[in-house]
Structure 1
Amino acid sequence: MGKPSRIERIYSDLKEVLFSGPVRPSQRIDVDALAEHYHVSTMPIRLLLNRMVGAGVLDVVPHEGYVIPGATERRIRDVHRWNQKILMLALETAMDDDVPAEFPELSLDAEDVVAETEALFLAIADFSDTGETRRAISNVNDRLRPIRRLDTGDLIDVASEIKAFREAWQSRDLHTLHRLVWQYHDRRLALVPHFVALAYSQ
C-alpha cells in the first residue's frame, strides 16, 4: 500500500483537530479557519466535511453549515449498541475459528484512554474475516470520540477497565475479552442520560 495522498492526510488530521479536545454538541465548524490552517481553498475542506457528514461524524444544518452532531440519548445509545454488536461478532468469529487469533502488541495504558480504547477495538475488529468490520469500527470510533472524551468522573472506573482489558489481551483470552467488551458497553448504555448532560455542560 502506497503513501496516503495529501487529501487523505488532511482528512485524517482534520478528524484529530476537530475531536482532539472537548466539543459542544451543535458547535459550528469554521470552514474558513480550517482552509487557512491547511493552506488550501475552502472547496477541499468542504468536500472532506461532506465526507464526514456521510460517515455520521458531522451534521450539516441549513443556514448554519457543518456542526458537531447533537448529543441525543437515541444517537448515543444506537452507536454504542452497534459498536457492541460488531465487536461481539468479531470475537465470536475468532472463538469459532480453528486457527488461533493473532494478538498484535498493544500497550493499553491509561495515559490516553480514548486512543487506547480505539486501538483495542480496531484490533478486535481484525479478528473478523472481513475488512468491513474494521471499517465499521473505525467509523464508530470517530462517532464516539467526543463522548469517550467526556470526563465521567466517578461514574466509570476507566483505569480498572483498561487494566482488565490489558490482562485479557496479554493472556490471549478471547472469552474474557468477550465478557469485558459486553460489560464495557452495558455500563455505558446505562449511563446514556449522564453522557447527554455532560456533553451539554462542557
Structure 2
Amino acid sequence: MPVQAAGKARPLSERVYESICNDIIKGVIAPGAPLIQEQLAEEYSVSRTPVREALNRLVHEGLATLTPGAGYAATTLTRSEVEEVYEVRKALEIMAIKQFEANYSSLELARLEFLIAEGSACKDAEELFKATRAFHLALAAPASNSFLLKTLQVVWDNPVQRLISHSYQVDEDKLERVAEAHSKIVAAAREGDADALIPLLDTCHEKDQ
C-alpha cells in the first residue's frame, strides 16, 4: 500500500519506516519473511532509497535482520530474546522503585488505579500495550533520577516491545490476568512495601506477555 501523505513535512524514509514497522508488528509481514527492497518500494510506491534507510533502522532496532548474501528479513523473536527484554526493563523498574522506597502519594496511587481500569477496557493488543506501558512508567515515575526514567522510557519505546505485545492473543482472560497482576502491585504500593512489591514484578511481566 502507498505510504500515506499525512505528515508530508517529515522525511519520506521516516514514513516508510513507520509503515514497514507497523506491518511487521501487526503481522502483516510475517516473522522471518524476506524484506526485498524492490518489492517494498513497489508496494509502498516509493524509491529504493527510503526503503533501504528504513530497513537499516529496523535492523538497528531489532525488528529486522541483515544476513550477508541473503538480505533483510523480518525478525523472529525467540523466547530467550523476549526474556532479555523483560530482564532489562524489570531491572530499571526495580532501581527506580528502590530509589523512593515505594513511597507513593495518594495521587500517584490513584493514577495507577486508573491505568488498571483503562487496561481492562482495552479492545486489542495495541491498546493493551499502551495501557501497560503507561502503568509501568507510572510505577517508576516518582523516582528522582531523570536519566533512569528516560532510559526506561527508551526501552519501552523500542518497537520490539510492541512486537512482543502483538504476538500474544488479547481476550477477556488475558485482560483479567494483567489487571490482577497490576492490582497486586498497587496493593503493595499502598502499603509502601518495596520488599513486597518488587517480587510481584516477576509475575507481572509474565502476565503482561
Query: TM-score band (shorter)?
Result: 0.5 to 0.7
Structure 1 173/32 Cα, relative in aligned 2: closer, same or farther at 3 Å? farther
Provide the secondary structure at the position in 1 that maps to 2:34.
Answer: coil
| Structure 1 residue 138 corresponds to structure 2 residue 157 | yes
- Cα separation, partners in 2 of 1:29 and 1:153, compared to 1, 3 Å: same
Q: SS of the residue aligned with 1:46?
A: helix
1:183 CA displacement: 0.7
Cα distance change on mapping 1:61 and 1:8 into 2, 3 Å: same
Q: CA distance change for structure 1 residues 76 and 98 in 2, over 3 Å: closer, same or farther?
A: closer
The whole-number CA distance in structure 1 between the counterparts of 2:95 and 2:128 is 21
Q: Residue 152 of structure 1: CA displacement?
A: 6.1
C-alpha separation between the residues in 2 aligned to 1:74 and 1:45?
A: 29
Provide Cα deviations, 1:88-116, integer angstroms capped at 9, x if missing partner. Answer: 33444454568764838642124114532
> CA 1:110 to 1:122, structure 2 compared with 1: closer, same or farther past 3 Å?
closer
1:81 partner amino acid: E
Query: Normalising by structure 2, what TM-score?
Result: 0.64
Question: 1:32 is paired with a residue of what secondary structure?
Answer: helix
Segments of 5+ residues of structure 1 without an aligned counterpart are 190-202
- 3-state SS, counterpart of residue 5 of structure 1: coil
1:33-90 superposed Cα distances (whole Å, 9 cap, x missing partner)? 3323443211111112111211222111122221122333432322222232233334
The one-letter code matched in structure 2 to 1:163 is A
Size of the aligned set, in residue pairs, is 184
1:1-202 alignment runs, 5 A limit: 5-6=10-11, 7-21=13-27, 24-93=30-99, 95=101, 101=108, 103=111, 106=115, 107-108=118-119, 109-125=121-137, 127=141, 129-130=146-147, 131-139=150-158, 142-151=159-168, 157-164=173-180, 173=189, 180-186=200-206
- What is the Cα deviation at residue 151 of structure 1? 4.7
Give me the whole-angstrom Cα distance separating, in 2, the residues matched to 1:166 and 1:187: 9
Amino acid at match of 2:205: H
Q: Which amino acid aligns with 1:149?
A: H
Question: 5+ unaligned residues in a row in structure 2: which ranges?
Answer: 1-6
Could you report, residue by residue, the CA deviation over 1:106-149 in whole angstroms, capped at 9, with x for unpaired residues? Answer: 4212411453234422553361523222112211xx22444433
Choose 1 or 2 for highest CA Rg.
2
Judging changes above 3 Å, is the alpha-carbon distance between structure 1 residues 76 and 167 closer, same or farther for their aligned structure 2 residues? closer
Q: Given the two structures, how large is their TM-score scaled by the length of structure 1?
A: 0.66
Contact 1:113 1:162 in 2 (8 A): no
**Identity in percent:** 19
Considering fraction of residues, name the structure with more helix.
Answer: 2
Q: Give the whole-Å Cα distance in 1 for the aligned partners of 2:62 and 2:36.
A: 18
